Amino acid sequence: MDNVLYHCNYMEIASLRKTCRSLRDFVDTAKPDGLVDKVMIDCDDYEGKFRLQTGEKVIEYAFTKTMDGCSMFDTDNWTWSTLLKGEDHMELLKNDFSVFLRHQKSLMQEIEINGKPADIEQVLNILKAHSENPKTRKFPLRTSKLSLIDLSAPQILLALSSVDAQSLRSLSFSCNKQNVLLDQITETEQWRRLDLNDIKITVTTAFLNSPNFSSCQIQYASISSESDIAARFGVDGDKWFFRMPNDESRVLYLDIESHEYVDIGYQDTAKVPTGAEIRIEGKPFALEQALNALKAHSKNPKTRKFPLKTTILSLRELPAPQILLALSSVDAKSLCSLSIGSQKQGVLTDDITATEQWRHLDTFCATGFRILDVRRISHLNTFSGLVSSVTAADLEYLKTTFLNSPDFQVCSMKCDRVASYFDIVTTFGVHSPRREWLFRKPNDAFRVLSLSVDSSNVRLGHRNTNTCEVTRPAEIIG
């Protein structure tokens, strides 16, 4: 029999073990490398399944609980079975798994473990014992992929921590309970070594700077409102695109799908829908190289005839010099909307508002940055942001400009200093206790320009004439 086993691989040995108890006991003492590619274990109260695959060859058998023991079935031929009196189906499954662990030394492609928590716990304890036993831990279970189905969080941790960390690259799991905290799982060495290329378990900035990231799909129980997400990214929608550092051929996308999923991955830049925003965000130092590459592209005689064309540019957490660098590197004629934001206070320098790109804008939204010269926003159709100061003369200038602009929509300013009520009344010649002044629009019988002012806010927009009080104190001027 020793000579027979010498010429057998583990798959053939596994077939021999199914034949009878005597052979099972004999071959369990031999330890050739299993050379198995994939393993699947599935168990519940009444049955335990064990499936081995090497190449195209598959061996699968099941231990089924009976009145006086259990039966062993070859799943390729359910008409064949062996009755094992007095045996427990879980003990046999655990024994087979233990023997397999002693044999398997080479790297596997995948191991899948599935079962009811109370039953699968016994199998996982075998795996844990193998990884901790001084005699066997020098041959830990090595697999590239680990799939865990319907296990509890402690059991996921138990299985994950029992396989070889240096070999594991892909993890897929599902929990049998919702809202399970996975902090201990994400602290394991195995987790840190994962490729995280296709794990279904947040983070755009982290993925932007990861050279090996491929995709991420997150199923959520709750998520921030669309308005909160839009405010964070600076543009409405349910799909956002982020420019990759040093890679102009593709972008990172974030898609808030229906059915409670968030999808993050890559998309070719050429396939980004027309008019969609390509955002740039990150830590200033980390982005400096990407912005310099963008600038070099715009200056290179060989590439500047194909400038980066986008209708919307959104910049987050960048200082004014980097905003200038990014803004001046995109095609001015294509750019329509600019959104910038920072938690730190800054000044939008004259260098920025003097660029050709700025002069072509029709929409601008900013948080954290102040405009020094408010008159530099007069060409915009939509403005929302901070300004240093607004005088009565500035209000007169903006009012006149917006009255004569056919495309003007709204201008909302938060100001450090605002003209006094006396100066505004002197300029417009009309008192308004409500601090709102209405101006007749040329060639427009249905709308008026509204100017509202308080101690720190100025807003210019439109109101329908049928909603305006044309008698004092809110009379239409002009």
User: What does 233-286 look like in DSSP terms, one character per residue?
Assistant: HTS-SSEEEEEETTEEEEEEEEEEETTTEEEEEEEEGGGSPTT--EEEES-HHH
- Lowest average pLDDT, out of 68-82, 345-359, 367-381, goes to 68-82
pLDDT at 265: 85
Exposed/middle/buried for 163, CB within 10 Å: 0-12, 13-18, 19+? buried
Strands 143-151 and 108-115: parallel
pLDDT at 135: 81
**How far, in Å, are 40, 73, 397 from residue 114 at the CA level?**
8, 19, 72
In this prediction, residue 10 has a pLDDT band, given cuts at 50, 70 and 90, of low
**How far, in Å, are 72, 85, 87, 99 from residue 21 at the CA level?**
11, 11, 11, 14
Phi, psi of 239 (to 5 degrees): -145, 130
Chain mean pLDDT for the chain: 78
Whether residue 26 has pLDDT greater than 70: no
State which amino acid sits at residue 184.
Q
The closest alpha carbon to 47, from 71, 63, 67, 59, belongs to 63
Q: How far apart are CA 400 and CA 185, in angstroms?
A: 63
Tokens representing 217 are 């799909």
pTM score over 0.85: no
Higher pLDDT, 2 or 465: 465
Whether the Cβ atoms of residue 328 and residue 359 lie closer than 8 Å to each other? no
The kind and range of the H/E element at 183 are helix 183-186
Whether the Cβ atoms of residue 387 and residue 416 lie closer than 8 Å to each other? yes
Mean pLDDT of 230-256: 74
Exposed/middle/buried for 43, CB within 10 Å: 0-12, 13-18, 19+? buried
The closest alpha carbon to 364, from 344, 338, 343, belongs to 338
The kind and range of the H/E element at 205 are helix 204-208
Whether residue 20 has pLDDT greater than 70: no
Report DSSP letters for 329-394, one per residue: TB-TTT--EEEEEEEEEEEE-HHHHTSHHHHH-SEEEEEEEEES-GGGGTT-SEEEEEEEEE-HHH
DSSP letter for 446, please.
S
The kind and range of the H/E element at 118 are helix 117-132
pLDDT at 426: 93
pLDDT at 410: 93
Neighbouring CB atoms inside 10 A of 226's CB total 12
In this prediction, residue 284 has a pLDDT band, given cuts at 50, 70 and 90, of very low
| Bond from prior residue into 154 cis (ω within 30 degrees of 0) | no
Domain ranges of the chain: 33-195, 388-478
What are 128-149's pLDDT values in tens digits?
998 888 888 788 889 999 988 8
What are 251-269's pLDDT values in tens digits?
888 887 655 677 888 888 8
Write the Ramachandran bin of 69: left for phi over 0, alpha for psi from -120 to 50, otherwise beta: left
| Nearest-5° Cα angle at 406, 402 to 410 | 50
Whether the Cβ atoms of residue 146 and residue 171 lie closer than 8 Å to each other? yes
297 Cβ neighbours under 8 A, 6+ residues apart: 248, 303, 304, 307, 308, 329
Whether the Cβ atoms of residue 317 and residue 283 lie closer than 8 Å to each other? yes
Whether residue 4 has pLDDT greater than 60: no
Whether residue 24 has pLDDT greater than 70: no
Residues in the chain: 478
Tokens representing 187 are 């602290």
What are 91-119's pLDDT values in tens digits?
888 888 888 888 788 899 999 998 877 77
